[in-house]
C-alpha cells in the first residue's frame, strides 16, 4: 500500500539579506492512511515550514530548491496556484496553533465553516448549514444548532479549536496537518482534542501530520516520529523505538529536559547537556554528543534545594502525616514560630453581568469565590487548574492589579487589600509579576536598557543613571544574557531570551515576592527547562518567594513546594505538591493528573498495542 503523501529529499530555502536560510534541508517522509506521523523539534527546526511547503503557502522569499511532494500520485511542487486552491481544504486541511487568529472575529463560526463547504462542494446553503451542525456535533461542541450562531469570542479556547477541526474536516480531507493544535490548551481540553483527532483519523482513515515541540503529546497520538533540528531530520522511526532507544543526542535531550510527573530531578537537563553544535565556515553543522554518565545524572537529581513545606502543625491540620507529606527525603517544614509572608483570607473577585438598555446588573461571574491560603518566605506555591478557574484573576487581585470584591490580602504584615493606588505604589517594589507573553508585556519601542532601568528610576533604586545601567547589565548577566543586549529591542530576541529579560526586569527593583503567571507555557521544552532552572537558582540565591500559576501539572509539580488546585473560583485541594500527586483526594485533581500526557514506556506500549488491535479489527 502506498502512502497518502510521500516526500523525497525536500529542500525549502529562504533568500534573506543575510544569505540563504536552509529552513528544510533534505527531508523525506511517508504517511500511510489511518496513521499519524509526529514531527517534533524546537522553534526554528523547520516543522512549520514543512507543513507550509505541503500547502504551498510559503512566503515570496522562499523557494523549493529540490525534492518532490507526492500527494495521491500528484507532485504538489509543480502544481499551479489554481490547482492548489482546489486541493487546500478539500483534500488537504490544516489546523493552526492559535484558533483565535485563524477565525474571523466579525463572522459567526457556523458561517465560516459553511463558507469552506460551499467553496469546495456542490451543495445548497441549507445543506451546508445541516452539514455544519453535523460537524459541530461530531467534534463534540454542545448545542451545535445554537452554537453555529456564536462569534469566536463567545467560545472557549477548546471550543474554538474544535471549530477549527470541524472546518478542517468539512470536505473529508485525505491529509490533516495539525500544527501545534494543543499548545495553549489546558491538559483536560488537550486530551479531548487529541482523543478527537485520533477517533476521526481512525473513522475516516485520514493521514495525520502532527507537529509539536512536546514529546509527551507525541507519545499519546503518533505511530511514527520524525525529530527535526535546524532544518534536518536527525532521527526517524516508530514511536516505541524512539522513546525506548533514542539514538541521536538531540532526541535524548528533548526526552530528558521535559518535566514529568514522576521526575526525580531537582534540576532539569537541557539539550546542551547532551550535545554541542558547531557551524563550519561552509555552513555545515557538526554535532558532538555528550555522554550522560551516572555521575552527571546524580548531579541533576541532587543539585538544588529541597521542598519547603508549611509548618508541621499546619500539615497535620490539613490531614497530612509525616509519611504522606515528606515524600522527598530532603523536605523540611517551616519553623512553628515563623509568620507567613503572604496571607490571603476569603478573597473574592466577582464581575457584574449587565444587560438591557440601562445596563442593569442581572448577575455576577464569580471568578474568585472565597479562597484562603498562606505562603512563607522562600516557598513556591503552585496554583493549578483549567482556564477560567480563577488562577490569573487571583494573582492579579493579590498584587492589587484587580480590585477584589471582598476578603483580605496581607503582605509582610500590611493589609494591602485596603491600600489606595498611591499607597500601593511603594510596595510594588516588593511584589512583582512575570507574564505569560514576554513580547506582549514589553514596549516594542523601548530598548532592553530602558525597560530594565525604568522601574529602578521609579522606585529610586541606584545613585545615578550610570549606576542603574550597570545594575541592568549585571541583571542580564545573572539571567544568562550579555550586557551588550541592553542596546537591542524586544523583537531582536527569541521567546526564551525575552522571558529572561522579563525576569531581569522583575528583579530590577529587588522584590521579595514574584507571581509567575504561565511564564513558561509558550516556550519550547528545552528553553522551558532553562527558564525553570533559572527561576529555581534565583530563588535559592535571592531568597525569593513565588506563586507559580500554570495549567501544566508536570511543571507545577517540578517547581512547587505546596500546591493549590482551583476549580470554579474555589480551592478544592491544598497541600504538599508531592503528596497531592501521589494520592490526590479530589476527583477533579485526579482528572487533571490523568489528563497529563504520559510518555513512560509502559503507557506507550499500551497505546501502540491498542492502535494495532483496532486496525486489525480485534477490538
pLDDT one-digit tens code per residue, 141-159: 888 899 999 998 888 777 8
For the cut 70, the answer to whether the pLDDT of residue 326 exceeds it is no
Cα–Cα distances (Å) from 357 to 24, 153, 354, 361, 362, in that order, read 57, 22, 9, 11, 12
For the cut 60, the answer to whether the pLDDT of residue 619 exceeds it is no
Closest-CA residue to 526 (of 135, 318, 215)? 215
pLDDT in tens, 117-142: 998 888 899 999 999 999 888 888 88
Exposure of 65 by Cβ count < 10 A (0-12 exposed, 13-18 middle, 19+ buried)? middle
Local confidence band at 492 (pLDDT 50, 70, 90 cut-offs): confident
For 268-379, strand residue ranges (E) read 275-279, 285-289, 308-309, 332-333, 342-355, 360-375
Higher-confidence residue of 479 and 357: namely: 479
| End-to-end Cα separation, the chain, in angstroms | 23
Q: What is the mean predicted confidence (pLDDT) over 356-371?
A: 87
Angle between helices 125-138 and 109-120 (to 10 degrees): 120
Q: Which residues of 177-208 are buried (b: 16+ CB within 10 A; e: fewer)?
A: bbbbbbebbbbbbbbbbbebbbebbeeeebbb
Give the whole-angstrom CA distance, residue 456 versus residue 285: 43
What is the location of CATH 3.40.50.300 in the chain?
308-430+511-598
Q: What is the mean predicted confidence (pLDDT) over 110-114?
A: 93
Question: Model-level pTM?
Answer: 0.86
pLDDT in tens, 404-449: 999 999 999 999 999 988 899 888 899 999 987 788 888 999 999 9
Evaluate whether 588 touches 572 at the Cβ level (below 8 Å).
yes
Cα–Cα distances (Å) from 603 to 35, 188, 221, 533, 598, in that order, read 19, 18, 12, 28, 7
Local confidence band at 379 (pLDDT 50, 70, 90 cut-offs): very high
Exposure of 295 by Cβ count < 10 A (0-12 exposed, 13-18 middle, 19+ buried)? exposed
Evaluate whether 480 touches 530 at the Cβ level (below 8 Å).
yes
Give the whole-angstrom CA distance, residue 497 versus residue 480: 9
Q: What are phi and psi of 43, to 5 degrees?
A: -60, 135
Structural fold of domain 308-430+511-598? Rossmann fold (3.40.50)
Evaluate whether 145 touches 133 at the Cβ level (below 8 Å).
yes
pLDDT of residue 325: 44
Q: What are phi and psi of 2, to 5 degrees?
A: -85, 155
pLDDT in tens, 562-590: 999 999 999 999 999 999 998 999 999 99
Amino acid at each position: 500500500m502506498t502512502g497518502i503523501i510521500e516526500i523525497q529529499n525536500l529542500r525549502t530555502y529562504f533568500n534573506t539579506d543575510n544569505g540563504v536560510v536552509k529552513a528544510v534541508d533534505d527531508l523525506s517522509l511517508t504517511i500511510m492512511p489511518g496513521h499519524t506521523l509526529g514531527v517534533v523539534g524546537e522553534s526554528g527546526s523547520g516543522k512549520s515550514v514543512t507543513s507550509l511547503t505541503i500547502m504551498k503557502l510559503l512566503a515570496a522569499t522562499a523557494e523549493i530548491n529540490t525534492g518532490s511532494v507526492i500527494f495521491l500520485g500528484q507532485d504538489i511542487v509543480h502544481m499551479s496556484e489554481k490547482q492548489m486552491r482546489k486541493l487546500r481544504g478539500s483534500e488537504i486541511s490544516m489546523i493552526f496553533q492559535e484558533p483565535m487568529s485563524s477565525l474571523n472575529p466579525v463572522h459567526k463560526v457556523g458561517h465560516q465553516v459553511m463558507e469552506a463547504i460551499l467553496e469546495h462542494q456542490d451543495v445548497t446553503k441549507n445543506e451546508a448549514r445541516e452539514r455544519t451542525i453535523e460537524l459541530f456535533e461530531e467534534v463534540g461542541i454542545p448545542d451545535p444548532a445554537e452554537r453555529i450562531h456564536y462569534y469566536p469570542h463567545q467560545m472557549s479556547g477548546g471550543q474554538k479549536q474544535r471549530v477549527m477541526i470541524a472546518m478542517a474536516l468539512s470536505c473529508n480531507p485525505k491529509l490533516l496537518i495539525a500544527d501545534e493544535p494543543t499548545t495553549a490548551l489546558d491538559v483536560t481540553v488537550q486530551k479531548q482534542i487529541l482523543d478527537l483527532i485520533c477517533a476521526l483519523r481512525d473513522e475516516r482513515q485520514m493521514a495525520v501530520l502532527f507537529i509539536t515541540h512536546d514529546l509527551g503529546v507525541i507519545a499519546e497520538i503518533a505511530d511514527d516520529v520524525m525529530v527535526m533540528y535546524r532544518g534536518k531530520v536527525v532521527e526517524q522511526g516508530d514511536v516505541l523505538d524512539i522513546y525506548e532507544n533514542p539514538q541521536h543526542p538531540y532526541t535524548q535531550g528533548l526526552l530528558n529536559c521535559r518535566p514529568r510527573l514522576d521526575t526525580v530531578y531537582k534540576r532539569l537537563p537541557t539539550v546542551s547537556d547532551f550535545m554541542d553544535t558547531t557551524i563550519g565556515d561552509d555552513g555545515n553543522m557538526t554535532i558532538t554528543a555528550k555522554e550522560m554518565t551516572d555521575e552527571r545524572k546524580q548531579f541533576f537529581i541532587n543539585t538544588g534545594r529541597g521542598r519547603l513545606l508549611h509548618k508541621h502543625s499546619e500539615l497535620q491540620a490539613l490531614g497530612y502525616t509525616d509519611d504522606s507529606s515528606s515524600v522527598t527525603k530532603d523536605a523540611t517544614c517551616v519553623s512553628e514560630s515563623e509568620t507567613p509572608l503572604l496571607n490571603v483570607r476569603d478573597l473574592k473577585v466577582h464581575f457584574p453581568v449587565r444587560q438591557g438598555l440601562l445596563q442593569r446588573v442581572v448577575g455576577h461571574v464569580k471568578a474568585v469565590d472565597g479562597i484562603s491560603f498562606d505562603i512563607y518566605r522562600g516557598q513556591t506555591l503552585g496554583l493549578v487548574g483549567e482556564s477560567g478557574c480563577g488562577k490569573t484573576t487571583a494573582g492579579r487581585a493579590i498584587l492589587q492589579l484587580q480590585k477584589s470584591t471582598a476578603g483580605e490580602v496581607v503582605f509582610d504584615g500590611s493589609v494591602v487589600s485596603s491600600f489606595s493606588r498611591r499607597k500601593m505604589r511603594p510596595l510594588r517594589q516588593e511584589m512583582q509579576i512575570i507574564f505569560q507573553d514576554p513580547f506582549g508585556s514589553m514596549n516594542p519601542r523601548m530598548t532592553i536598557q530602558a525597560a530594565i532601568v525604568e522601574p529602578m528610576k521609579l522606585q529610586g533604586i541606584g545613585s545615578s543613571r550610570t549606576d542603574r545601567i550597570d545594575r541592568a547589565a549585571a541583571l542580564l548577566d545573572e539571567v544568562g544574557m550579555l550586557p551588550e543586549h541592553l542596546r537591542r529591542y524586544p523583537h531582536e530576541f527569541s521567546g526564551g531570551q525575552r522571558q529572561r529579560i522579563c525576569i531581569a526586569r522583575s528583579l530590577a527593583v529587588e522584590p521579595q515576592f514574584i507571581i509567575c503567571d504561565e511564564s513558561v507555557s509558550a516556550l519550547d521544552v528545552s528553553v522551558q527547562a532553562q527558564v525553570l532552572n533559572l527561576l529555581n537558582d534565583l530563588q535559592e540565591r535571592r531568597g525569593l518567594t513565588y506563586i507559580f500559576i500554570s495549567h501544566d501539572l508536570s511543571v507545577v509539580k517540578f517547581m512547587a513546594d505546596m500546591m493549590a488546585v482551583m476549580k470554579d473560583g474555589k480551592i478544592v485541594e491544598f497541600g504538599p505538591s508531592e503528596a497531592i500527586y501521589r494520592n490526590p483526594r479530589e476527583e477533579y485533581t485526579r482528572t487533571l493528573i490523568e489528563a497529563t500526557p504520559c510518555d513512560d514506556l509502559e503507557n506507550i506500549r499500551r497505546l501502540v498495542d491498542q492502535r494495532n488491535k483496532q486496525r486489525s479489527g480485534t477490538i
